[in-house]
Homo-oligomer: A and B are copies of this chain.
Amino acid sequence: MDITVAIDAMGGDHGPHVTIPAALNAIKQDSQLNVILVGLKDVIDAELAAHQAVIGPRLRIHHASEVVAMDESPQSALKNKKDSSMRVAINLVKSGEANACISAGNTGALMATARFVLKTLPGIDRPAIAGILPTQKGTVHMLDLGANADCTPEHLLQFAIMGAMLVSCVEQKERPSVGLLNIGSEDIKGNEVVKQAGELLRASHLNFYGNIEGNDIYKGTTDVVVCDGFVGNVALKTSEGLAQMVNRFLVQEFKRSWLTKLMALVSIPVLKAFKRRLDPRRYNGASFLGLRGIVVKSHGGADSLAFQYAIRAAAEESRSGVLSRITEQLEIEHLKPQAALQDVETTKEGI
C-alpha cells in the first residue's frame, strides 16, 4: 500500500543532518513509501546534494519558512510560527497530501499544533502519547507517556481503547490484553482515579487484564499498559536513567584494569548482542493517538537509524487503519463524541 509521510526535516537536536539521511534510507527500504521533506528549501537542497540524492515523485520538498525551537513554548509556536516546518507537515496530513507526519521537534509544540490543526477523534477528549518498550516476551505499548499530567477515569478508558486498537491494527492481535498500571493487583488498590478507571475498564468490551504493577511492564504481562501521563512519563524516564546507569556500571567494570579490558575484548560479540536488545533506537517513534490524523514523535536526540525506525512506525500506523478502528471501538463503548463539539468551539475562537 502506497503511503506518503511528511517529515519535519528541521526538527530535533540535529535537524536535516539526521532527518534527511534517515528519509533516504527509509524510501530505499520500503518501495511503497514516499516522503515529503518539509522545511527551509535551501537547507534541504544542500543536505540532499551532500547525499547525491535527487528529488522525484517519491521524494519531494515542501518549503516552510520557519522553525520551532526545541525550547519554544507551545503557545508561542502556535501563535507565531504558522509557517513552521512542524506545522506545515501537520497541515499536509490535514489536507490529505500526506498519510502521516513525523517530527523530532519540541514535544509540547508538536502536540499543541497537532491538536489545533487536526482536532481529536469524536469521543476522544485528549490525545495521548503511546510508545513501545521492550519486554521479556517481546514488546509492550504504553500510554500516556506525558501528554496529560492530570487525568480522569474516562480519559484512562479512552487511552485503553486507543492503545488496544493500535496494537490490534499494527501487530495483528485480535484482542490485545490491557493492563491498568497500579500499585497492587487487588481491585481496591491505588488512587481514586485509577480505582474508578478499573471499574470502567471492567465494564468495557476490551480484553481487560486488570491491575498490573511497575514490574509487569518489562515482564510483558499485557500487550498494552495504561496510565496517566505523569506516571507514564516518570516510569519511562526512570527506566532511561536506570538503563544509563547499568550501562555505565558495566563499562566501568570492564575498564577497571588491563585484565578486565582483555575480558571485554573477548566478550565483545556478547556485549554487542546484549546492547542491541536494549537499544532504545529500535523503539523510537511515539504515536500521538486520538487525533484525526497520524502524528509520530521521534526522540529529539535521535540519530539517523533511530529516526528511520520512527519513519517506519509512521508508515506502519498509516497502513494499519487504526483511526477508523478507534472510532468504531468508541462507538461500541458508547462514548459520546464530546471532543468533536469542543473542537468546533476551539476553531471558532481561533488562535
Q: In the assembled complex, how far is the CB of residue A145 from the closest CB belonging to chain B, in whole angstroms?
A: 9
Q: For residue A218, which residues in chain B have a CB less than 8 angstroms away from its CB? A: 238, 241-242, 244-245
Q: In the assembled complex, how far is the CB of residue A222 from the closest CB belonging to chain B, in whole angstroms?
A: 13
Tell me whether A270 is interfacial, beta carbon within 8 Å: yes
Interface hit among A8-16, A253-261, A280-288: A253-261
Q: Are B240 and A214 in contact (CB under 8 A)?
A: yes
State which size class the interface on A falls in: 35 or more
Cβ < 8 Å to B, chain A residues 264-318: 264, 266-267, 269-270, 273-274, 277-278
- Evaluate whether A253 and B270 lie within 8 angstroms (CB atoms) in the complex, with A136-B245, A229-B183, A230-B190 already known: yes
Tell me whether A210 is interfacial, beta carbon within 8 Å: no
Per assembly, the copies of the chain total 2
Q: For residue A219, which residues in chain B have a CB less than 8 angstroms away from its CB? A: 241, 244-245
Q: For residue A192, which residues in chain B have a CB less than 8 angstroms away from its CB? A: 150
Tell me whether A341 is interfacial, beta carbon within 8 Å: no
Q: Are B239 and A213 in contact (CB under 8 A)?
A: no
Tell me whether A236 is interfacial, beta carbon within 8 Å: yes
- Distance in angstroms between the alpha carbons of A230 and B151 in the assembled complex: 14
Closest to A213 in B: B237
- Distance in angstroms between the alpha carbons of A243 and B219 in the assembled complex: 11
- B216, B228, B233, B274: the one within 8 Å of A253 (CB): B274
Q: Are A238 and B263 in contact (CB under 8 A)?
A: no
Q: For residue A231, which residues in chain B have a CB less than 8 angstroms away from its CB? A: 230-231, 234
Tell me whether A191 is interfacial, beta carbon within 8 Å: yes
Q: Are A260 and B253 in contact (CB under 8 A)?
A: no
- Evaluate whether A242 and B242 lie within 8 angstroms (CB atoms) in the complex, with A213-B237, A270-B260, A273-B256 already known: yes
Q: Are A217 and B241 in contact (CB under 8 A)?
A: yes
Q: For residue A53, which residues in chain B have a CB less than 8 angstroms away from its CB? A: none
Cβ < 8 Å to B, chain A residues 117-158: 134-136, 146, 149-150
Tell me whether A52 is interfacial, beta carbon within 8 Å: no
Q: For residue A230, which residues in chain B have a CB less than 8 angstroms away from its CB? A: 183, 190-191, 194, 231
Tell me whether A215 is interfacial, beta carbon within 8 Å: yes
Q: Are A233 and B256 in contact (CB under 8 A)?
A: no
Q: In the assembled complex, how far is the CB of residue A212 from the closest CB belonging to chain B, in whole angstroms?
A: 9
Tell me whether A226 is interfacial, beta carbon within 8 Å: no
- Distance in angstroms between the alpha carbons of A244 and B134 in the assembled complex: 13
- Evaluate whether A234 and B214 lie within 8 angstroms (CB atoms) in the complex, with A150-B192, A183-B229, A219-B241 already known: yes
- Evaluate whether A215 and B191 lie within 8 angstroms (CB atoms) in the complex, with A183-B234, A278-B246 already known: no
7 contacts between A and B (CB under 8 A): A135-B245, A149-B194, A213-B233, A219-B241, A230-B231, A253-B270, A266-B266
Closest 9 A/B residue pairs (Cβ): A214-B237, A215-B241, A214-B238, A218-B241, A183-B233, A149-B191, A218-B245, A263-B267, A214-B234
